[in-house]
Amino acid sequence: MVSDMAAIYDCTVPAELLAGMRLARAAISRGELAVIPTDTVYGIAADAFTPAAVQRLLDAKGRTRQSPPPVLIPNLATLDALAEHVSDAVRSLAEAFWPGGLTIVVDARSSLMWDLGETDGTVALRMPADPIALELLAETGPLAVSSANLTGQPAALDAAEAQRMLGDSVEVYLQAAPPVVSPDGAARTSAAPTGTAPAGTPPAGTAPAGTPPAGTAPAGTAPAGIASTIIDATDPEHITIIRHGVITEQQLRAVIGDALITASAEPAVPAESTASAEPAVPAEPMAPAERAMPAEPAAPAESAASAEGTAPAESTASAEGTASAESTASAEGTAPAESTASAEPTPPTPPAAPADSSTAEPA
């Protein structure tokens, strides 16, 4: 009995690469699904402009329309074609980190004839740093692509893992080269097939903008299994991080400065944990310490210290959501702990300071 399970095509073998790419293009043109490698995790791809194909993608993963897929694009020109407006900050970020692990949420053009789900008029765009994905995108146009896994399961890092989860809901599976371990120990999901180069590759002897020193990975290159960073750029004056990933806050801020208003620096998270990860953006804008403090009655520095015991100053600050003990004291109008003794109106006759003031600063 012949199994009707879709075949996996090994793109490191020239004959299978040609066959797999041809079949993937044909499947996508018919509104079917294909699993493709990307620079982060393997993705399940559908024609972004075929609503039935996008719904098939959501059904295969077990998702609802409330979780619309991102759209992968082949080049920067497509950003201008799909976004209602491309601000200077967004263009600078795209030039610095595309192709690579940065997903940018922008307002979609109202004239676009597509249905990605409940997007509220926005679209999440990314240009992947994977030669197979870029070659396919150059021939098919924008693709709705979500991680190749069932919702709640770890994202697939190869085509076989994706096939075990998605089965015959996908028409074609493309397998890239095994993850390549670089000198820094980071694994990359795929390498370019012999004789191919990603779309937009600069001429020999030149380097893309933002290329790091020799011996390091490109700024936008994602270690295998690390999800892309997602930013909300619908307000170009106040860009926020929705999900932390391979591109760090420091890298983003180096490009757009104070236009980035998220002040968090959590490490990149594995792709399988991103579904349950809390958004990095606080529910309300971060308030300065002096505005956050009235939430609780002000307490003298010495009583705050004794309540905390011997916890370090930085632990006290994070537990109460306020600044460190010294800045807490100054913000409340009291002197630092070490000057408490001199600030007391008591005469200097006692041989030692009172016990409670001696614990204002833990050892």
Domain 8-85+105-216 in CATH 3.90.870.10? yes
Alpha-carbon dihedral angle through residues 321, 265, 66, 101, given to the nearest 10 degrees: 180
> What are the phi and psi torsion angles at 143 (to 5°)?
-120, 135
210 torsion bin: left (phi>0), alpha (psi -120 to 50), beta (else): left
- pLDDT tens readout for residues 196-245: 443 344 444 444 443 333 333 344 444 556 889 999 999 988 999 999 99
**Residue pLDDT, tens place only, 120-129:** 999 999 999 9
User: Left (φ > 0), alpha (ψ -120 to 50) or beta: where does 321 sit?
Assistant: left
174 vs 340 pLDDT, higher one: 174
Give the integer Cα–Cα distance in Å for 226 and 228.
7
**Per-residue pLDDT tens digits for 325-360:** 343 333 344 444 344 434 444 444 444 444 443 333
Q: Each residue of 57-69: pLDDT tens digit? A: 999 999 999 999 9
Task: Give pTM, 2 decimals.
Answer: 0.64
Long-range contacts of 161-166 (CB under 8 A, 24+ apart): 161/42, 162/35, 162/42, 162/44, 163/5, 163/6, 163/8, 163/35, 166/33, 166/35, 166/44, 166/60, 166/61
List the chain domain ranges. Answer: 8-85+105-216, 288-337
Q: How high is the pLDDT of residue 226?
A: 84
Among 235, 231, 246, which Cα is nearest to 105's? 231
180 versus 173: the higher-pLDDT residue is 173
